[in-house]
Protein backbone atom coordinates (compact mmCIF):
# COMPACT_ATOMS: atom_id res chain seq x y z
CA UNK A 1 0.00 0.00 0.00
CA UNK A 2 1.29 3.38 -1.00
CA UNK A 3 1.34 6.46 1.28
CA UNK A 4 -0.40 9.57 0.07
CA UNK A 5 2.71 11.78 0.43
CA UNK A 6 5.12 9.37 -1.21
CA UNK A 7 4.65 10.79 -4.74
CA UNK A 8 5.38 14.29 -3.49
CA UNK A 9 8.55 13.17 -1.69
CA UNK A 10 9.80 11.32 -4.78
CA UNK A 11 9.15 14.45 -6.87
CA UNK A 12 11.11 16.63 -4.40
CA UNK A 13 14.03 14.19 -4.41
CA UNK A 14 14.16 14.28 -8.22
CA UNK A 15 14.10 18.10 -8.18
CA UNK A 16 16.91 18.13 -5.57
CA UNK A 17 19.05 15.82 -7.74
CA UNK A 18 18.49 18.06 -10.78
CA UNK A 19 19.51 21.15 -8.76
CA UNK A 20 22.72 19.44 -7.54
CA UNK A 21 23.62 18.45 -11.11
CA UNK A 22 22.92 21.98 -12.40
CA UNK A 23 25.09 23.54 -9.67
CA UNK A 24 27.91 21.13 -10.46
CA UNK A 25 27.80 22.06 -14.14
CA UNK A 26 27.85 25.77 -13.26
CA UNK A 27 30.89 25.32 -11.00
CA UNK A 28 32.75 23.42 -13.73
CA UNK A 29 31.98 26.15 -16.27
CA UNK A 30 33.16 28.91 -13.91
CA UNK A 31 36.46 27.16 -13.20
CA UNK A 32 37.15 26.16 -16.81
CA UNK A 33 39.09 29.32 -17.76
CA UNK A 34 41.24 29.21 -14.63
CA UNK A 35 42.04 25.52 -15.12
CA UNK A 36 42.95 26.05 -18.78
CA UNK A 37 45.38 28.84 -17.87
CA UNK A 38 46.88 26.74 -15.11
CA UNK A 39 47.33 23.79 -17.48
CA UNK A 40 48.98 26.00 -20.13
CA UNK A 41 51.38 27.42 -17.54
CA UNK A 42 52.29 23.96 -16.23
CA UNK A 43 52.88 22.72 -19.77
CA UNK A 44 55.12 25.69 -20.60
CA UNK A 45 57.12 25.31 -17.39
CA UNK A 46 57.61 21.60 -18.05
CA UNK A 47 58.87 22.28 -21.57
CA UNK A 48 61.21 25.10 -20.51
CA UNK A 49 62.68 23.15 -17.57
CA UNK A 50 64.53 20.78 -19.92
CA UNK A 51 65.66 23.32 -22.53
CA UNK A 52 69.38 23.67 -23.25
CA UNK A 53 71.71 25.46 -22.94
CA UNK A 54 69.33 27.75 -21.02
CA UNK A 55 66.28 26.51 -19.17
CA UNK A 56 63.68 28.86 -17.75
CA UNK A 57 62.83 27.30 -14.41
CA UNK A 58 60.30 29.90 -13.32
CA UNK A 59 58.74 33.24 -14.24
CA UNK A 60 56.52 35.71 -12.48
CA UNK A 61 54.74 38.78 -13.84
CA UNK A 62 53.72 41.55 -11.51
CA UNK A 63 52.11 44.75 -12.76
CA UNK A 64 55.37 46.40 -13.89
CA UNK A 65 57.95 43.67 -14.37
CA UNK A 66 58.37 40.15 -15.70
CA UNK A 67 60.96 38.20 -13.69
CA UNK A 68 62.52 35.20 -15.46
CA UNK A 69 64.71 32.63 -13.66
CA UNK A 70 67.18 30.95 -16.01
CA UNK A 71 69.38 27.93 -15.37
CA UNK A 72 72.54 27.00 -17.24
CA UNK A 73 71.86 23.43 -18.42
CA UNK A 74 75.05 23.18 -20.46
CA UNK A 75 78.32 21.72 -19.26
CA UNK A 76 80.15 25.03 -19.70
CA UNK A 77 80.19 28.47 -18.11
CA UNK A 78 77.87 30.83 -20.00
CA UNK A 79 77.67 34.62 -19.98
CA UNK A 80 74.13 36.00 -19.99
CA UNK A 81 73.77 39.13 -22.13
CA UNK A 82 70.01 39.64 -22.27
CA UNK A 83 66.59 38.06 -22.54
CA UNK A 84 64.10 39.54 -25.00
CA UNK A 85 60.42 38.78 -24.45
CA UNK A 86 57.98 39.90 -27.16
CA UNK A 87 60.30 42.70 -28.26
CA UNK A 88 61.28 44.00 -24.80
CA UNK A 89 64.91 43.49 -23.74
CA UNK A 90 65.88 42.70 -20.15
CA UNK A 91 67.52 45.34 -17.99
CA UNK A 92 71.32 45.60 -17.84
CA UNK A 93 71.34 44.18 -14.29
CA UNK A 94 70.46 40.85 -15.90
CA UNK A 95 73.99 40.39 -17.32
CA UNK A 96 75.86 37.68 -15.45
CA UNK A 97 78.32 34.81 -15.57
CA UNK A 98 76.65 31.47 -14.88
CA UNK A 99 78.45 28.21 -14.15
CA UNK A 100 76.86 24.88 -15.15
CA UNK A 101 73.72 24.12 -13.12
CA UNK A 102 73.57 27.61 -11.59
CA UNK A 103 70.72 30.10 -12.01
CA UNK A 104 70.44 33.78 -12.85
CA UNK A 105 67.52 36.18 -12.98
CA UNK A 106 66.49 38.45 -15.86
CA UNK A 107 64.14 41.39 -15.35
CA UNK A 108 61.99 42.60 -18.24
CA UNK A 109 59.95 45.78 -17.89
CA UNK A 110 56.43 44.87 -19.04
CA UNK A 111 53.11 46.17 -17.84
CA UNK A 112 49.96 44.18 -17.34
CA UNK A 113 46.69 44.46 -15.45
CA UNK A 114 46.29 42.65 -12.14
CA UNK A 115 44.32 39.44 -12.66
CA UNK A 116 44.68 39.38 -16.46
CA UNK A 117 46.18 36.39 -18.24
CA UNK A 118 49.32 36.95 -20.33
CA UNK A 119 51.07 34.96 -23.03
CA UNK A 120 54.42 35.90 -24.59
CA UNK A 121 55.28 33.73 -27.56
CA UNK A 122 58.61 35.30 -28.55
CA UNK A 123 61.49 34.59 -26.16
CA UNK A 124 65.13 35.06 -27.23
CA UNK A 125 68.07 34.48 -24.89
CA UNK A 126 71.33 36.18 -25.97
CA UNK A 127 74.53 34.85 -24.42
CA UNK A 128 78.21 34.14 -24.87
CA UNK A 129 80.00 30.88 -24.24
CA UNK A 130 83.67 30.60 -23.32
CA UNK A 131 84.69 30.43 -27.00
CA UNK A 132 81.82 31.91 -29.02
CA UNK A 133 80.20 35.32 -28.53
CA UNK A 134 76.74 36.56 -29.54
CA UNK A 135 74.81 33.31 -29.50
CA UNK A 136 71.05 33.16 -29.17
CA UNK A 137 68.51 30.59 -28.10
CA UNK A 138 64.93 30.95 -29.31
CA UNK A 139 62.07 30.08 -27.00
CA UNK A 140 60.59 26.61 -27.22
CA UNK A 141 57.27 27.54 -25.60
CA UNK A 142 55.41 30.71 -24.69
CA UNK A 143 55.59 32.25 -21.22
CA UNK A 144 52.05 32.24 -19.82
CA UNK A 145 50.43 33.05 -16.51
CA UNK A 146 48.32 35.57 -14.63
CA UNK A 147 49.49 39.06 -13.77
CA UNK A 148 49.44 40.11 -10.12
CA UNK A 149 50.42 43.02 -7.89
Give per-residue pLDDT as tens, 16-36. 999 999 988 888 877 665 555
Confidence of residue 58 (pLDDT cuts 50, 70, 90): very high
What's the pLDDT at 89?
Answer: 92
Tell me which residue of 37, 55, 32 sits closest to 144, measured CA to CA: 37
Q: What is the residue-wise DSSP string for 62-119?
A: BSSEEEEEEEE-SSS-EEEEEEEETTEEPPGGG-EEE-TT-EEEEEEE----TT-EEE
> pLDDT tens, 112-135?
999 888 999 999 999 999 999 999
**Confidence at 8, pLDDT banded by 50, 70, 90:** confident
Confidence at residue 108, expressed as pLDDT on a 0 to 100 scale: 94
Query: What domains lie within the chain, and their CATH numbers?
Result: 42-146 (2.60.40)
Amino acid sequence: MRSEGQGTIEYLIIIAIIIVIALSVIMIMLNFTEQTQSTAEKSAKAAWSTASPWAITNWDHNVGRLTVVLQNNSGNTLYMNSVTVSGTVSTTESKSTVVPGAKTIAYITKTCTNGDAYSYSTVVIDYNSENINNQSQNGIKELVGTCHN
